Amino acid sequence: MAEPKIVKIPQHVAIIMDGNGRWAKARGLPRIMGHREGMKSVRAVVECARKLGIKVLTLYAFSKENWQRPREEVSFLMGLLEEYLRREVEELHQKNIQIRAIGELELLPRNIQALLKESIKKTAANTGMILNLALSYSGRAEIARAARLLAEACLRGDLKPEEITEDLFRHYLYTNDLPDPDLLIRTSGEMRLSNFLLYQCAYTELYITPTLWPDFREDEFLKALEEYQRRERRFGKISEQLN
Ligand code: IPE
Ligand code: IPE
Ligand code: MG
Protein backbone atom coordinates (compact mmCIF):
# COMPACT_ATOMS: atom_id res chain seq x y z
CA MET A 1 0.00 0.00 0.00
CA ALA A 2 1.29 3.47 -0.89
CA GLU A 3 2.04 5.46 2.25
CA PRO A 4 -0.59 8.18 2.54
CA LYS A 5 0.80 11.61 3.24
CA ILE A 6 -0.39 12.87 6.59
CA VAL A 7 0.65 16.49 6.81
CA LYS A 8 -2.10 17.98 8.96
CA ILE A 9 -1.88 16.03 12.20
CA PRO A 10 -4.81 16.51 14.59
CA GLN A 11 -3.71 17.41 18.12
CA HIS A 12 -6.41 15.36 19.79
CA VAL A 13 -8.10 12.26 18.35
CA ALA A 14 -10.98 10.60 20.20
CA ILE A 15 -12.27 7.14 19.29
CA ILE A 16 -15.52 5.32 20.02
CA MET A 17 -14.24 1.77 19.72
CA ASP A 18 -17.42 0.00 18.68
CA GLY A 19 -18.41 -3.28 17.01
CA ASN A 20 -16.53 -5.92 19.01
CA GLY A 21 -19.68 -7.95 19.67
CA ARG A 22 -20.74 -7.94 16.01
CA TRP A 23 -17.22 -8.89 14.91
CA ALA A 24 -17.41 -11.99 17.12
CA LYS A 25 -21.00 -12.83 16.20
CA ALA A 26 -20.14 -12.77 12.49
CA ARG A 27 -17.61 -15.51 13.21
CA GLY A 28 -19.89 -17.56 15.43
CA LEU A 29 -17.78 -16.65 18.47
CA PRO A 30 -18.89 -15.37 21.89
CA ARG A 31 -18.93 -11.53 22.18
CA ILE A 32 -15.96 -11.55 24.54
CA MET A 33 -13.71 -12.84 21.76
CA GLY A 34 -14.46 -9.60 19.93
CA HIS A 35 -13.28 -7.60 22.95
CA ARG A 36 -10.07 -9.64 23.08
CA GLU A 37 -9.40 -9.08 19.38
CA GLY A 38 -10.23 -5.39 19.86
CA MET A 39 -7.28 -5.08 22.27
CA LYS A 40 -4.96 -5.69 19.32
CA SER A 41 -6.51 -2.71 17.57
CA VAL A 42 -5.91 -0.63 20.71
CA ARG A 43 -2.22 -1.54 20.59
CA ALA A 44 -1.95 -0.82 16.86
CA VAL A 45 -3.72 2.54 17.03
CA VAL A 46 -1.85 3.73 20.14
CA GLU A 47 1.48 2.95 18.47
CA CYS A 48 0.49 4.60 15.19
CA ALA A 49 -0.82 7.74 16.93
CA ARG A 50 2.37 8.01 18.97
CA LYS A 51 4.59 7.66 15.90
CA LEU A 52 2.65 10.35 14.06
CA GLY A 53 3.06 12.81 16.93
CA ILE A 54 -0.60 13.06 17.94
CA LYS A 55 -0.65 14.84 21.31
CA VAL A 56 -3.77 13.31 22.85
CA LEU A 57 -5.57 10.05 22.10
CA THR A 58 -8.82 9.52 23.99
CA LEU A 59 -10.29 6.03 23.82
CA TYR A 60 -13.90 5.34 24.82
CA ALA A 61 -13.36 1.95 26.43
CA PHE A 62 -16.39 1.66 28.73
CA SER A 63 -19.42 3.90 29.11
CA LYS A 64 -21.40 4.46 32.28
CA GLU A 65 -24.32 2.82 30.46
CA ASN A 66 -22.18 -0.24 29.72
CA TRP A 67 -22.53 -1.24 33.40
CA GLN A 68 -26.01 -2.47 32.41
CA ARG A 69 -24.60 -5.21 30.17
CA PRO A 70 -24.72 -8.87 31.30
CA ARG A 71 -22.58 -9.35 34.39
CA GLU A 72 -20.25 -11.85 32.67
CA GLU A 73 -19.47 -9.41 29.87
CA VAL A 74 -18.76 -6.59 32.31
CA SER A 75 -16.41 -8.84 34.32
CA PHE A 76 -14.62 -9.89 31.16
CA LEU A 77 -14.11 -6.26 30.12
CA MET A 78 -12.78 -5.38 33.58
CA GLY A 79 -10.44 -8.37 33.34
CA LEU A 80 -9.14 -7.16 29.98
CA LEU A 81 -8.58 -3.68 31.37
CA GLU A 82 -6.65 -5.16 34.28
CA GLU A 83 -4.57 -7.25 31.90
CA TYR A 84 -3.85 -4.20 29.74
CA LEU A 85 -2.71 -2.12 32.70
CA ARG A 86 -0.58 -4.93 34.12
CA ARG A 87 1.06 -5.88 30.85
CA GLU A 88 1.36 -2.71 28.83
CA VAL A 89 2.01 0.19 31.17
CA GLU A 90 5.75 -0.48 31.43
CA GLU A 91 6.08 -0.34 27.64
CA LEU A 92 3.87 2.75 27.39
CA HIS A 93 6.10 4.34 30.03
CA GLN A 94 9.26 3.46 28.07
CA LYS A 95 7.66 5.16 25.08
CA ASN A 96 7.16 8.36 27.08
CA ILE A 97 3.34 8.04 26.99
CA GLN A 98 1.36 9.68 29.76
CA ILE A 99 -1.70 7.78 30.95
CA ARG A 100 -4.84 9.54 32.12
CA ALA A 101 -8.40 8.43 32.78
CA ILE A 102 -11.76 10.20 32.68
CA GLY A 103 -15.13 9.04 33.98
CA GLU A 104 -16.63 7.85 37.26
CA LEU A 105 -13.57 5.87 38.20
CA GLU A 106 -14.89 5.28 41.72
CA LEU A 107 -17.40 2.82 40.20
CA LEU A 108 -14.57 0.59 38.90
CA PRO A 109 -13.45 -2.46 40.91
CA ARG A 110 -10.97 -1.54 43.65
CA ASN A 111 -8.03 -3.39 42.11
CA ILE A 112 -8.49 -1.56 38.81
CA GLN A 113 -8.76 1.79 40.57
CA ALA A 114 -5.47 1.02 42.29
CA LEU A 115 -3.77 -0.09 39.07
CA LEU A 116 -5.00 2.99 37.25
CA LYS A 117 -3.79 5.29 40.00
CA GLU A 118 -0.40 3.61 39.90
CA SER A 119 -0.17 3.85 36.08
CA ILE A 120 -1.18 7.50 36.08
CA LYS A 121 1.36 8.33 38.78
CA LYS A 122 4.14 6.36 37.12
CA THR A 123 3.67 8.10 33.76
CA ALA A 124 2.68 11.56 35.02
CA ALA A 125 5.96 13.25 34.03
CA ASN A 126 6.04 11.74 30.52
CA THR A 127 6.04 14.32 27.77
CA GLY A 128 5.03 12.21 24.75
CA MET A 129 1.47 11.38 23.80
CA ILE A 130 -1.30 11.49 26.38
CA LEU A 131 -3.33 8.27 26.33
CA ASN A 132 -6.63 9.24 27.88
CA LEU A 133 -8.92 6.33 28.79
CA ALA A 134 -12.67 7.02 29.10
CA LEU A 135 -13.90 4.50 31.67
CA SER A 136 -17.32 4.41 33.28
CA TYR A 137 -17.71 7.62 31.34
CA SER A 138 -20.87 9.63 30.60
CA GLY A 139 -20.81 13.04 28.94
CA ARG A 140 -23.99 14.19 30.66
CA ALA A 141 -22.75 13.04 34.07
CA GLU A 142 -19.50 14.94 33.41
CA ILE A 143 -21.39 18.15 32.60
CA ALA A 144 -23.68 17.77 35.64
CA ARG A 145 -20.61 17.21 37.83
CA ALA A 146 -19.00 20.39 36.52
CA ALA A 147 -22.19 22.34 37.33
CA ARG A 148 -22.20 20.87 40.84
CA LEU A 149 -18.55 21.76 41.45
CA LEU A 150 -19.18 25.32 40.25
CA ALA A 151 -22.26 25.66 42.46
CA GLU A 152 -20.24 24.48 45.46
CA ALA A 153 -17.48 26.99 44.69
CA CYS A 154 -20.11 29.76 44.56
CA LEU A 155 -21.66 28.67 47.85
CA ARG A 156 -18.24 28.66 49.50
CA GLY A 157 -17.79 32.21 48.24
CA ASP A 158 -14.75 31.26 46.10
CA LEU A 159 -16.54 32.19 42.88
CA LYS A 160 -19.29 34.56 41.69
CA PRO A 161 -21.90 33.25 39.21
CA GLU A 162 -21.01 36.03 36.76
CA GLU A 163 -17.43 34.71 36.69
CA ILE A 164 -18.59 31.45 35.09
CA THR A 165 -17.48 31.63 31.47
CA GLU A 166 -17.12 28.93 28.81
CA ASP A 167 -13.42 28.84 29.52
CA LEU A 168 -13.86 28.46 33.28
CA PHE A 169 -16.54 25.82 32.75
CA ARG A 170 -14.31 23.61 30.62
CA HIS A 171 -11.74 23.44 33.40
CA TYR A 172 -14.33 21.77 35.63
CA LEU A 173 -14.78 18.92 33.15
CA TYR A 174 -12.70 15.76 33.47
CA THR A 175 -10.76 16.82 30.39
CA ASN A 176 -9.75 20.07 32.15
CA ASP A 177 -6.58 21.25 30.39
CA LEU A 178 -6.81 18.95 27.34
CA PRO A 179 -7.62 20.54 23.99
CA ASP A 180 -11.00 19.62 22.45
CA PRO A 181 -10.86 16.64 20.07
CA ASP A 182 -10.10 17.69 16.49
CA LEU A 183 -11.26 14.36 15.14
CA LEU A 184 -13.76 11.85 16.51
CA ILE A 185 -13.67 8.39 14.97
CA ARG A 186 -16.48 5.89 15.46
CA THR A 187 -16.20 2.36 14.15
CA SER A 188 -19.05 -0.06 13.29
CA GLY A 189 -21.14 2.50 11.41
CA GLU A 190 -23.38 3.75 14.22
CA MET A 191 -24.32 7.38 13.63
CA ARG A 192 -24.44 8.54 17.23
CA LEU A 193 -22.27 9.91 20.03
CA SER A 194 -23.49 7.51 22.73
CA ASN A 195 -22.89 10.09 25.46
CA PHE A 196 -19.22 10.67 24.57
CA LEU A 197 -17.53 14.06 25.10
CA LEU A 198 -20.76 15.99 24.51
CA TYR A 199 -19.36 19.35 25.61
CA GLN A 200 -15.94 18.93 24.02
CA CYS A 201 -17.12 17.85 20.55
CA ALA A 202 -18.85 21.13 19.68
CA TYR A 203 -16.60 21.62 16.61
CA THR A 204 -14.97 18.22 16.30
CA GLU A 205 -14.77 16.61 12.85
CA LEU A 206 -16.70 13.34 12.79
CA TYR A 207 -15.47 10.26 10.94
CA ILE A 208 -17.67 7.20 10.99
CA THR A 209 -16.55 4.00 9.32
CA PRO A 210 -18.48 0.73 8.91
CA THR A 211 -15.27 -1.15 9.84
CA LEU A 212 -15.70 -2.99 13.14
CA TRP A 213 -13.21 -2.11 15.89
CA PRO A 214 -11.28 -5.44 15.81
CA ASP A 215 -10.62 -4.80 12.09
CA PHE A 216 -9.56 -1.18 12.63
CA ARG A 217 -5.78 -1.18 12.46
CA GLU A 218 -3.06 1.17 11.25
CA ASP A 219 -4.24 1.39 7.60
CA GLU A 220 -7.79 2.26 8.69
CA PHE A 221 -6.48 4.85 11.15
CA LEU A 222 -4.36 6.45 8.43
CA LYS A 223 -7.44 6.53 6.16
CA ALA A 224 -9.33 8.47 8.83
CA LEU A 225 -6.44 10.94 9.20
CA GLU A 226 -6.25 11.39 5.44
CA GLU A 227 -9.96 12.21 5.35
CA TYR A 228 -9.51 14.62 8.26
CA GLN A 229 -6.88 16.63 6.44
CA ARG A 230 -9.25 17.14 3.52
CA ARG A 231 -11.87 18.73 5.79
CA GLU A 232 -12.33 22.47 5.98
CA ARG A 233 -12.94 23.55 9.55
CA ARG A 234 -14.80 26.82 9.45
CA PHE A 235 -15.96 27.27 13.07
CA GLY A 236 -18.91 29.32 11.83
CA LYS A 237 -16.92 31.53 9.45
CA ILE A 238 -16.89 31.40 5.66
CA SER A 239 -14.11 29.84 3.55
CA GLU A 240 -12.68 33.18 2.45
CA GLN A 241 -12.04 34.20 6.04
CA LEU A 242 -9.77 31.23 6.70
CA ASN A 243 -6.09 31.47 5.94
C1 IPE B 1 -17.51 -1.89 21.82
O2 IPE B 1 -18.04 -3.01 21.18
C3 IPE B 1 -16.88 -2.24 23.16
C4 IPE B 1 -17.62 -1.70 24.30
C5 IPE B 1 -18.71 -1.00 24.27
C6 IPE B 1 -17.05 -1.98 25.62
P7 IPE B 1 -19.49 -3.54 21.51
O8 IPE B 1 -19.38 -4.53 22.62
O9 IPE B 1 -20.44 -2.44 21.77
O10 IPE B 1 -19.86 -4.29 20.17
P11 IPE B 1 -21.24 -4.26 19.41
O12 IPE B 1 -21.60 -2.83 19.20
O13 IPE B 1 -22.21 -5.00 20.27
O14 IPE B 1 -20.97 -4.96 18.12
C1 IPE C 1 -20.27 3.14 23.04
O2 IPE C 1 -20.63 1.93 22.45
C3 IPE C 1 -19.37 2.90 24.21
C4 IPE C 1 -18.05 2.39 23.91
C5 IPE C 1 -17.56 2.14 22.72
C6 IPE C 1 -17.21 2.16 25.04
P7 IPE C 1 -22.00 1.21 22.77
O8 IPE C 1 -22.03 -0.04 21.99
O9 IPE C 1 -22.15 1.06 24.24
O10 IPE C 1 -23.08 2.26 22.25
P11 IPE C 1 -24.60 2.09 21.85
O12 IPE C 1 -25.29 1.42 22.98
O13 IPE C 1 -24.65 1.25 20.62
O14 IPE C 1 -25.07 3.48 21.59
MG1 MG D 1 -21.62 -1.33 20.54
Gap between the Cα atoms of 34 and 23, Å rounded? 6
- Host H or E run for residue 21: helix 20-26
Q: Where are the domains of the chain?
A: 12-138+180-228
77 C-beta closer than 6 A to ligand 1: yes
CB 208 within 8 Å of CB 190: yes
195 is catalytic: no
195 C-beta closer than 6 A to ligand 2: no
| Percentage with pLDDT > 70 across the chain | 98
Gap between the Cα atoms of 35 and 91, Å rounded? 21
Gap between the Cα atoms of 184 and 10, Å rounded? 10
Q: For 125-181, how does the pLDDT look when each residue is reduced to its tens digit (9 = 90+)?
A: 999 999 999 999 999 999 999 999 999 999 999 999 999 999 999 999 999 999 999
CB 190 within 8 Å of CB 18: yes
Mapping DSSP to helix (H, G, I), strand (E, B) and coil, where does residue 205 land? strand
- State the Cα torsion 116-119-120-125 to the nearest 10°: 180
Nearest-atom number in ligand 2 for the CA of 192 is 14
Residue 56 Cα, ligand 2 centroid: separation in angstroms?
Answer: 21
Q: For 75-113, how does the pLDDT look when each residue is reduced to its tens digit (9 = 90+)?
A: 999 999 999 999 999 999 999 999 999 999 999 999 999
- Note the pLDDT of residue 60: 99
The residue whose CA has the least distance to atom 12 of ligand 1 is 19
Which bound ligand lies closest to the C-alpha atom of 34? 1
The residue whose CA has the least distance to atom 10 of ligand 2 is 194
- Note the pLDDT of residue 153: 98
Average pLDDT along the chain: 97
182 is catalytic: no
Residue 105 Cα, ligand 1 centroid: separation in angstroms?
Answer: 20
Span 12-138+180-228 CATH architecture: 3-Layer(aba) Sandwich (3.40)
Which bound ligand lies closest to the C-alpha atom of 215? 1
16 C-beta closer than 6 A to ligand 2: yes
- Note the pLDDT of residue 4: 66
CB 18 within 8 Å of CB 184: no
Is the pTM for the entire model greater than 0.95? yes
